[in-house]
Chain A
Amino acid sequence: MIDWAAFLVVAVAALVSSAVVVSLYSLGLRLLTTAGRIPMVEPAEFTGAITVLSPARAAKDAKRARKALKANPLTADQKRLALYAGYLCFALCGLIVLYGVYLIVPALHR
């Protein structure tokens, strides 16, 4: 019959690892925006899932964002700290993904 123990292990492992990876990357993004370095990644191609705004409206939004950034209460040191912490989060995230690749290749861990 079905191996329930193996199934449970897979479910828990998947849940924990994806929660950790997603949390780390999200935290990295959050810290970057806190530091005032907002990662603006334009889509490579505009698809149906992306709301396209007129240039005027986009400019207005950008202005609003700049204003909000100026109101950042953090000092320069705090911002730098947030930035480095953000990079640390991305690095940890990358390491976990590399561990995933390591798991795929049996030649590496036999």
Chain B
Amino acid sequence: MDFTLIVALVIALALIFDFTNGFHDTANAMATPIATGAMKPKVAVGVAAVLNLVGAFLSTEVARTVSGGIIKEGDGGIQITPEMIFAGLIGAIVWNLITWLRGLPSSSSHALFGGLIGATVIGVGAQAVAFDVVLAKVILPALIAPITVGIVAFLATRLAYAITRRDAGRPDGRGGFRYAQIFSSSLVALSHGTNDAQKTMGVITLTLIAGGYQAVGSGPQFWVVACCALAIAIGTYTGGWRIILTMGRGLTEIKPAQGFAAETSTAATILASSHLGFALSTTQVASGSVIGSGLGRRGSTVRWGMAGQIALGWLLTLPASAIMGAFAAGLALLGPIGILLDVVIGTVVVYVLFQWSKRDRISHDNLHDIDDAGHVVKIKKTPRKPSRKDRAKVAL
């Protein structure tokens, strides 16, 4: 196959992946402010989209070190071909869509890494993958980060409630946390833009370098940055409403003080880690802090069944997208016909998944009507008469 055609295909696929990354991760920043009513759903995703767009331009640090040594590319090591990147992207996109359909907040970066690893193992051989780096940079942080940030969010929630406790029958003014939520969730969205859009830029730049269109060791070109920023912003605005529902209501009922504590912990952790060069998954950090804040408020319950499903999704992300990436890579090895088959099969799978999603459409206009999103939300059949305790909640 013509080399320029495969490069064009990789760029197109990378942008599609960026789009799915955007709508998969809207929930990280905006699920909690939507759940507490701090922002209207449409406004929230709009703000998140703009901040992701801005964030993508602000920093290209992550893009420069995208594969982080997981795949030994470049001189001396084994050259990763555009075909392998192409196959890895197909695996990542399909897995992102499957988890979205299930409403599971799973890590888009893990899907990308998984797809690339699977494709490399088939296309080049297992010796091309630095498995020790995978363990140190992907798997261990994935186990530790949600627990750590959960503890941080738990303590922050406790603090927020302790400091604003009601005295002498005066209202506690905790509704004021809604204002704060607008800012804290915006900060999460901005830091997401500086992180996740970069991964796609890195992939495209890697391809351009491999194809000899760009000097080795140079940063992403402006048009690459602009296209990636736009793709992730459009994806964010489209909004993965299923995942927003899971994060905002499926794990625990969130009140403004909890939402603020959770978002602040998420933002602080992501900022600290990316500033100190320690890569974490935004999605896992955000989920961990929602659970932590659920544990932090007295009288709230965490739905551990849902949390278990999400954790299972995390465990599966790397191997599942690796298998799909490997399958696509196996086909791609057949030459031009294999690539064509990959494109056709990928398109069909994506089409089927979208048709499937139409059976139970979840969007901004029916987000709050869906009490019976199956496994996600517990249903309150008959609202009971408000008790004294319920009345006390009004100031929240």
Contacts from A to B (Cβ < 8 Å): 1-3, 6-7, 9-11, 13-15, 17-19, 21-23, 25-27, 29-30, 32-33, 38-51, 53, 57-58, 61, 64-65, 67-69, 71-72, 93-94, 97, 100-101, 103-107
Contacts and interface: CB of A to CB of B under 8 A. Distances in A.
Contact of A49 (B35, B164, B190, B394): B35
Interface stretch (B73-81, B172-180, B229-237, B349-357): B172-180
A51 B144 CA distance: 35
Contacts of A53: 386, 390-391, 394
Nearest to B157: A22
B272 interface: yes
B125 interface: no
Contacts of A10: 269, 272-273, 276, 278, 280
A21 B163 CA distance: 12
Contacts of A43: 36-38, 178
Interface of B: 34-41, 43, 55, 58-59, 61, 132, 135-136, 140-141, 144, 148-149, 151-153, 155-156, 159-160, 163-164, 168-180, 183-184, 187, 190-191, 194, 248-249, 253-257, 260-261, 264-265, 267-269, 271-278, 280, 367-368, 371, 377, 386, 390-391, 393-396
A22 B160 contact: yes
Contact of B390 (A22, A46, A51, A104): A51
A30 B395 contact: no
Contact of B170 (A3, A6, A46, A69): A69
B55 A68 contact: no
B268 A13 contact: yes
Contacts of B144: 7
A12 B261 CA distance: 16
Contact of A44 (B40, B141, B267, B391): B40
Given A51-B386, A68-B169, A100-B271, A18 B36 contact: no
A43 to B, nearest CB: 3
Contacts of A2: 135-136, 140-141
Given A19-B155, A30-B173, 10 more contacts: A13-B268, A13-B276, A14-B148, A15-B155, A25-B160, A33-B172, A44-B37, A47-B35, A65-B395, A104-B274
A18 B394 contact: no
A41 B393 CA distance: 14
B187 A97 contact: yes
Given A6-B278, A17-B268, A105 B149 contact: no
Nearest to B153: A18
A23 to B, nearest CB: 5
Contacts of B148: 11, 14
Nearest to A46: B37
A105 B391 CA distance: 45
Contact of A106 (B36, B61, B152): B61
Contacts of A97: 183-184, 187
